[in-house]
Amino acid sequence: MNYKAVIIGGSAGSFQIVTRILNSLNPSFPLPVLLCLHRLKHVRSGFVEALSLKSNIPIYEPSDKDQLKSGCAYLAPANYHMFIELANRISLSADEPVNHSRPSIDLSFITAANAYREKLIGIILSGANRDGALGLKKVGDNGGVTIVQDPLESEVKTMPESALQHTKVDYVYSSDQIIKFLLKL
Amino acid sequence: MVELGIVDIREIIRLIINHYNFDFSSFSLTSFKYRLEHVIAKNNLNSAESLFRKLTDEPDFFDVFLHQLCVPSSEMFRDPSVWRWLRESYFPSLEEKHLMNFKIWLPYCVSGGELYSLAILLKEIDLLNTVKIFATSFSNNSIEDIKSGVYPFKKNEVSIENYKRFQGDSDLSNYFKREKYNVVRDTSLIKNVEFIKDDINFNNAPKNIKLILMRNVVIYFNPSHQEKVLKTMHESLSAYGTLIIGLKEQIKPNTNAQGLFEAVELNESVYKRKVV
């Protein structure tokens, strides 16, 4: 299968596994990696730097209309929604928070699902609210691959459990299995 | 929730150009789709067709549509450090003679968050009666909404937090009254503001502007329209005038706009008009 992008959503308890994923990928990874993680809105800097410490691929906090490249990760910036446009570009939005979240994981996943259809891999990780459940459903409805971190392994279960309630997902994986899956792409 | 397909969106764009001569093809597709779906939900419509019909049959609805479609600023004093920069670096750097005939322009006002924030800042540094502010909206409904000062109370919390981080002179609550589910802002703050109704091409842009505040506006436009709007801003500014855009908006390298502006304070997305 010729995938176009991986999108990952998470909040509380996801930092460590995101770090591990970024550490295990290398710059020849064939897809762009979109990261939509809940974060403090008034803390502008530090997050990319913290994620970059152990990452083997470059991580960007994109500006509006930036073009996505494979082998790079894109972290949704603080206090913006990150939409994915059809032309493989980011569009940012300062629209209202959704479920108290901006960036909203649902909105990133839904726009990515519309842009890439069956060529998208969506992954929901540990997190403390229900954001992401509708987004992952959209990924599945559009024929993409849906993966949820095993709630038994997740530090905070609400987000993966809520995703599992909304969608019949393709895989429930441990962090090791998620990494193994990505490395085979 | 109604989800629109690409064919629906093209149809709506075509209909609006034909009926109202307003070209939404310049908008960024994902945001436009999201906002259209918001308008459909807000008006209790149940399909794309019902929106087509409303836009065709009710000419008065179009102004409401524009107001609902444009993304309002969701908070006052968004990015407090930008406002601190204006107060602590920008305005103190101006000499008396610069302040003569000093014009500020906000090219895209929907809910007045930026406009009231600016007015409060100016009041606190005692410049509100010295400068002239122009505020452009696409919709008369937006202008009336801003003039009324009415704002949902639940959205006010973030603004209060932001104002604290801005370290303003007093407390944000001194600038509004609570009324049930709303707050009513102190409308005397904007009594000298000149409102301009315009469309997406900004043909009514004012001239000889010293400072343009256009934060998180061009994110809703496609790349070619972004360039066009930045060129309009360049023409509207006086020599060495200042343009502030959103923190994650960027004057991109290798674009025409890059030749028109130079960065002054990149951390806050502040640019200066280049003389070309």
- pLDDT, tens digit, for every residue of B76-89? 999 999 999 999 99
Buried b (16+ CB within 10 A) or exposed e, A73-109: bbbbbbbbbbbbbeeebbbbbbbebbeebbbbbbbbb
Instruction: Give the catalytic positions of A in this structure.
Output: 11, 38, 131
Summarised one tens digit per residue, pLDDT across range B171-198 is 999 999 999 889 999 999 999 999 999 9
Domains and CATH numbers, chain A: 5-183 (3.40.50.180)
Segment (H or E) for A176: helix A175-183
Asked whether the beta carbons of residue A64 and residue B249 sit closer than 8 angstroms, the reply is yes
Binding-face residues of B in 29-48 toward A, CB within 8 A: 29-31, 34-35
pLDDT tens track for B15-58: 999 999 999 999 999 999 999 999 999 999 999 999 999 999 99
pLDDT digits (tens, 9 = 90+) for B101-130: 999 999 999 999 999 999 999 999 999 999
Q: What is the pTM of this model?
A: 0.96
Interchain contact B160–A (C-beta under 8 A) = no
Q: Cα torsion at B245, B246, B250, B256 (round to 10°)?
A: -30
Any CB–CB contact under 8 A between A93 and chain B? yes
Q: Test A91 with B219 for CB contact under 8 angstroms.
A: yes
Chain A residue numbers touching B34 (CB-CB < 8 A): 83, 93, 95, 107
Q: Mind telling me how many Å the CA of A152 is from chain B's nearest CA?
A: 33
User: Which of A40, A93, A142 best tests the B interface by mutation, with the highest count of B CBs <10 A?
Assistant: A93
Closest by Cα among B217, B232, B207, B31 to B113: B217
Task: Give ranges for CATH 3.40.50.150 in chain B.
Answer: 80-273
Which residues in chain B are closer than 8 Å to A100, comparing Cβ atoms? none
Residue A87: per-residue pLDDT: 87
Which chain A residue lies closest to B69 (C-alpha atoms)? A95
B71 at A interface, C-beta within 8 A: yes
CATH topology of domain B80-273: Rossmann fold (3.40.50)
- Facing A92 at nearest CB: one of B29, B79, B219: B219
Measured between beta carbons, the chain B residues lying within 8 angstroms of A91 are 28-31, 219
Q: Are strands B103-106 and B182-185 parallel, antiparallel or unpaired?
A: unpaired
- Please answer whether residues A113 and A119 qualify as being in contact, where contact means their C-beta atoms are separated by less than 8 angstroms: no
Q: Which residue has the tokens 């410490």?
A: A53
Whether chain B has a CB inside 8 Å of the CB on A69: the answer is: no
What pLDDT band is residue B155 in, cutting at 50, 70 and 90? confident
CA nearest to B211, candidates B52, B104, B139 = B104
The C-alpha atoms of residue A37 and residue A12 are separated, in whole angstroms, by 9
* Contact with chain B for residue A53, Cβ under 8 A: no
The number of C-alpha atoms within 13 Å of B249 and in the hemisphere containing its C-beta is 25
Q: What are residue A159's phi and psi, to 5 degrees? A: -70, -50
Q: Is the pLDDT of residue A6 over 90?
A: yes
Nearest CB among B30, B73, B74 relative to A91 is that of B30
Q: Do B219 and A94 touch (CB under 8 A)?
A: yes
Does A76 score more than 80 pLDDT? yes
Q: Give the pLDDT band (50/70/90) at residue B98.
A: confident
pLDDT digits (tens, 9 = 90+) for B64-76: 999 999 999 989 9
Share of chain B above pLDDT 70, in %: 100
